[in-house]
Structure 1
Amino acid sequence: MQENSFAFRLKELLEHNKLTLQAVGTALGISRTAVHKWTKGGEIDYDNLRKLADFLRVNWIWLRYGQEALSSVQHAEPVELPMTDLRRRYAAEIMENEARMKLAQEAARIVTWEWNLISDELTYSPNVEDVYGWTISANEDFWSHLPEEDVEAMQAMYDRIIRSGENCEYDYRMSQPDGSVRWISSRSTVVHDAAGRPIKIVGISMDNTARKLTEEALRTSEERFRSIFELSEGALAFIHLDGRLQRVNDSLCALLGYSQQDLCALNFQQITHPDDLQANLSLLVQLLAGSINRYVVEKRVRCGDGSYKWVRVRTSIQRQGDGAADYLISVFEDIHAAKVEQQALLMKIEALESQLAGSPIS
């Protein structure tokens, strides 16, 4: 091994700093074997050379090429090259790509930012005011526009990702000059130095207010609909297209004598009397095909105690935005007493007709 060689200087540094091959490998994220090869004169790539020099706190040129090379670089005069066509094309491509990226970023209302954990310096892309509603130049500016509970949650989150090194996505609220609130969605990641120490957090942020308001409107609508569904005196059911009972309200459970869990484990085919099922399925086929918009059927349904009860069922179909069938909505009406009375009356009529048919007068 030559004295003026990369391998010799590396071994000297390891001995001077009392570092093992394993310690260096762990710090650089490589194997102990790779470090051992370097100490035997093996080649080292540029990225690992820079990482190794940073870890050992020496100049990378000196480490790889020695003092003479370092001195030569330090005393070298800058080389001025004429502006060639190649350099012009290269510069034009860079400016074009940067302009395209800037336009895309501004069109998508995306802010890029970087938080230096060493100096606590915070830098943003020029469109930060357009997205945030404020000009932000320091952490104090940023935190002052957030609700206290969001500040606490985000600071705890940053502490966690700095320790763990994981990426994160999060939403937070930012007050506006006019008193309104804007929702911001951010994604960020922690950047480490060669020694594995966190040095900065980089991220992107975008205005997510429209989506949040839409979600809130949908949630409010769903809660309102659920309240109407549950509190309605009418017996209601949402039914899958294959007949499974998707959601039922308390009125339907009381009418048929099932718990919600037991009723939702069944389909309407199972609780429909076999003699009434075919007529019901025929109407359902027409509804799914679009031939009719709704149907009304009177049928017998099996109750929780095994008995059958007459009901009148009005069924319509809920469709998606593209017109595809989504689910069925059925309203059940108890007509059992009327049906029993009607059947009793028909039996009396039949009995009277039989008596009349057998009388001498006839």
Structure 2
Amino acid sequence: MTSIPKDPFPEKSRKEDHYLRILRQMESLGKLGHWEFDFINQTIHWSEGVFAILEMDPIEMPISLELGYNSIHPDDREKAKQHMEDVIEKGIPYNLECRLVTKKGAVRTIHSQAELVCDDSGNPIQIVGIFQDITDRTESYIQLKQQELRLSSILQSEPECVKVVSPDGILIEMNPAGLSMIEADTPEDAIGKTVEPLIEPSDLRFYQSIHENALKGIKSSARFRIIGMKGTHRWMESTAVPLTNQKGEITSVLSLTRDISEKVINEEKLIRIKRNQEALINGTSDLIWSIDTNFCLVTANQSFLNVLSFLLQYPAKEGDSVLVKTAGEEFYYKWKEYYERGLSGESFTSYENFISPITLEEEHREVSFNPIRNVDEKITGLACFSKDISSLMRKSKELILN
């Protein structure tokens, strides 16, 4: 019976196996592989990590320099060959990033570094290298750059002003719309300079409040006026939010600002129109009011509010019912019929003759009812106008008697 020779160095073999297992684990976890090329014998060696990255079985095929180059993506193959020549001829460090094509057709991006080994005469005899699969990192970087490009495109085309300001008020970044609003001919005219000189001095506290709120982590908005670099005055509405770094620390303030000059002008016009209308309708003894489909007061001049308050026996206000039973059932149902006719779509005029409960004098009134319709021609309410024609009626009677 033939005996199996014993390993003369069992402890050394166990250590080598141990280190090989650690190496395999490191390559697997780090998506790494190491390789060697012998220039003298024209032989190449790949570790298990290389085969794993290339999705190859080391048993199925012999390793060769041709197989190595053929594993490089066709578009990167010439670059890889030229880099190897430059390493050998020019002595530059081997540091290459390129794409590989696996046996299953997948494209992997790798980063490879290697060291050239030379003999005593300086002739290259071997190159030993390592490469890592950085596909995930590269794809993440590409996606990030694409996102940055999309975001940049959005900001460049955004019609509102988008700006980033440092905590001490220095303009860091501003899109073209913003530069146009502040009348900057070039970004250099504004970037790196303080924002506050552009704010109308009397409105500076409003701008400062949203900037300070953002530095405290609070989103807020404000209106203020600016004076452009060429002297144009504009009303702005700005919302400011904090920008943070990876640690969550607030590093700057992001603001979205829109030009609301036209909006403010229109608002001021509406206020003037409303005040003029109020002065006109409240300066007459005629009664002017409108109701909704539930017979509730929508708006009225002071003369009508005085009458309705007298009938209700408390101060009248918007939302109160205009159908009052305190004046008697006959009065109630007569006016309910008027309102229903108007809300059904009929425009008409009624002539009323009564003793005023306020003045206790005879009054004659011409009352007009006109439906109010929305854009869809649906009736949403009724506009009412009561004109005092008592004087006219008295003069008519005088003429008849004479």
Same fold (TM over 0.5): yes
Q: Which residue does 1:260 correspond to in 2?
A: 187
C-alpha separation in 1, matches of 2:46 and 2:153: 46
Question: Do structure 1's residue 233 and structure 2's residue 146 form an aligned pair?
Answer: no
Aligned length, in residue pairs: 264
Q: Which residue does 2:225 correspond to in 1?
A: 300
Single out whichever of 184-193 and 172-181 deviates more from structure 2.
172-181
Q: Match for 2:101: what amino acid?
A: S
- Give CA-to-partner distance per residue, 1:38-85, whole Å, 9 cap, x none: xxxxxxxxxxxxxxxxxxxxxxxxxxxxxxxxxxxxxxxxxxxx96xx
More relative contact order in 1 or in 2 (CA 8 Å, sep 6+)? 1
TM-score by length of 1: 0.64
TM-score by length of 2: 0.58
Q: Which residue does 2:53 correspond to in 1?
A: 131
Question: Do structure 1's residue 223 and structure 2's residue 162 form an aligned pair?
Answer: no
Deviation at 1:328, TM superposition (A): 2.6
Counterparts in 2 of 1:160 and 1:270: CA distance versus 1, 3 Å = farther
Q: Which residue does 1:200 correspond to in 2?
A: 126
- Give CA-to-partner distance per residue, 1:210-258, whole Å, 9 cap, x none: 0011011101111111111111222222333433322222211222211
Counterparts in 2 of 1:90 and 1:147: CA distance versus 1, 3 Å = closer
Q: Tell whether the 8 Å contact from 2:237 to 2:259 is kept in structure 1 after alignment.
A: yes
Q: Which residue does 1:106 correspond to in 2?
A: 28
Larger strand share, 1 or 2: 2
Larger helix share, 1 or 2: 1
C-alpha separation in 1, matches of 2:164 and 2:263: 26
Deviation at 1:91, TM superposition (A): 5.1
The secondary structure found in structure 2 opposite 1:184 is: strand
Question: Do structure 1's residue 282 and structure 2's residue 204 form an aligned pair?
Answer: no
Q: Which residue does 2:96 correspond to in 1?
A: 170
Q: Tell whether the 8 Å contact from 1:165 to 1:189 is kept in structure 2 after alignment.
A: no
Q: Tell whether the 8 Å contact from 2:53 to 2:102 is kept in structure 1 after alignment.
A: no
Q: 5+ residue gaps in structure 1?
A: 1-81, 350-362
Q: Which residue does 1:187 correspond to in 2?
A: 113
The secondary structure found in structure 2 opposite 1:211 is: helix
Single out whichever of 191-200 and 275-284 deviates more from structure 2.
275-284
- What is the CA RMSD across the aligned residues, in angstroms? 3.0
Percent identity of paired positions between Structure 1 and Structure 2? 20
C-alpha separation in 2, matches of 1:109 and 1:247: 40
- Give CA-to-partner distance per residue, 1:83-113, whole Å, 9 cap, x none: 6xxx665554444334323322332221110
Question: Do structure 1's residue 312 and structure 2's residue 237 form an aligned pair?
Answer: yes
Q: Match for 2:36: what amino acid?
A: E
- Give CA-to-partner distance per residue, 1:125-173, whole Å, 9 cap, x none: 1232211223571121122232333111111111111123232322111
Max radius of gyration: which structure?
Answer: 2
Deviation at 1:206, TM superposition (A): 1.3
The secondary structure found in structure 2 opposite 1:118 is: coil
Deviation at 1:114, TM superposition (A): 0.7
Question: Do structure 1's residue 96 and structure 2's residue 18 form an aligned pair?
Answer: yes
Deviation at 1:197, TM superposition (A): 1.3
C-alpha separation in 2, matches of 1:288 and 1:154: 50
Q: Which residue does 1:55 correspond to in 2?
A: none
Question: Do structure 1's residue 147 and structure 2's residue 73 form an aligned pair?
Answer: yes
The secondary structure found in structure 1 opposite 2:148 is: helix
